[in-house]
Amino acid sequence: METDGAAGLAAARRLHPVAIVLDIGLPGVDGVEICRRLRDSGDWTPVLPVTARDEEADRILGLELGADDYLTKPFSPRELVARVKAVLRRAAGPPEPPVRTVGRLRLDPARRTLHQDGRPVALTTTEFDLLAHLLRHPGRVFTRDQLLAHVWGYADYCGTRVVDVYISQLRCKLGEASPIRTVRGVGYSVADAGTDLAT
């Protein structure tokens, strides 16, 4: 475990871990900047930032920069293990699911790739899994709590705003091609009209 931001970033690049638990408050290079540098360099290793409960802005910024989840202090070792396992399960993905084509998007869960108009779109593990889950159930409306349970694999005791952040990030990356619809007072869905599911 590294306690200095620069040393931690160097270790991540040298050791290629399967997941990174990252304290936002590291001295030197802080956790937000480490996440930014990893993503800018094309490293999409799952990242779980650790923040204090009053650092909501840092949590949101970390998610916007490509973090896959976050932990708030204090947390139990069991919660840490559960969240890391959930992120790794999502990164592994289900065995050989069907390719899904919706409008200008083509999502291949087996290869964990998304293409828009034939061009690759870089998504974090959680962004990919959230979009894939919605696309697997076209027309169905999911509440934020349901999405937390199905995609994250557990309830988020800090609230459901994390879902809104990821939806916002997906819409930003997909632009007008985004198939995600907001159902006011309920949650989110993907319209089933014109959906082509190819195996």
Both structure tokens of 174:
């997909």
95 pLDDT higher than 60: no
What stretch(es) of the chain map to CATH 1.10.10.10? 95-199
Question: What's the rounded Cα separation, in Å, for the pair 84 and 18?
Answer: 10
At 186-199, the pLDDT tens digits run: 999 997 644 443 32
pLDDT, mean of residues 146-153 = 84
CA 75/CA 72 separation, integer angstroms: 6
Cis bond upstream, residue 77 (ω within 30): no
CATH for 95-199 is: 1.10.10.10
* pLDDT band at residue 180 using 50, 70 and 90 as cut-offs: very high
pLDDT (0 to 100) of residue 192: 64
Sheet holding 20-23, edge to edge: 20-23, 47-52, 71-73
Confidence (pTM)? 0.57
- DSSP secondary structure letter of residue 18: S
Rounded to an integer, the average pLDDT of 164-170 is: 93
CATH 3.40.50.2300 fits 1-92, yes or no: yes
pLDDT for residue 18 is more than 50: yes
Give the bridge partners for 73, in sequence order.
52
Q: Which residue ranges does the chain devote to CATH 3.40.50.2300?
A: 1-92
Q: What is the pLDDT of residues 100-143, one digit of tens each?
A: 888 889 999 888 899 999 999 999 888 999 999 999 888 899 99
- Tokens 């399967």 correspond to what residue? 18
Inter-helix orientation angle 31-40/5-15, to 10°: 30
Bridge-based pairing state of the strands 142-143 and 187-190: antiparallel
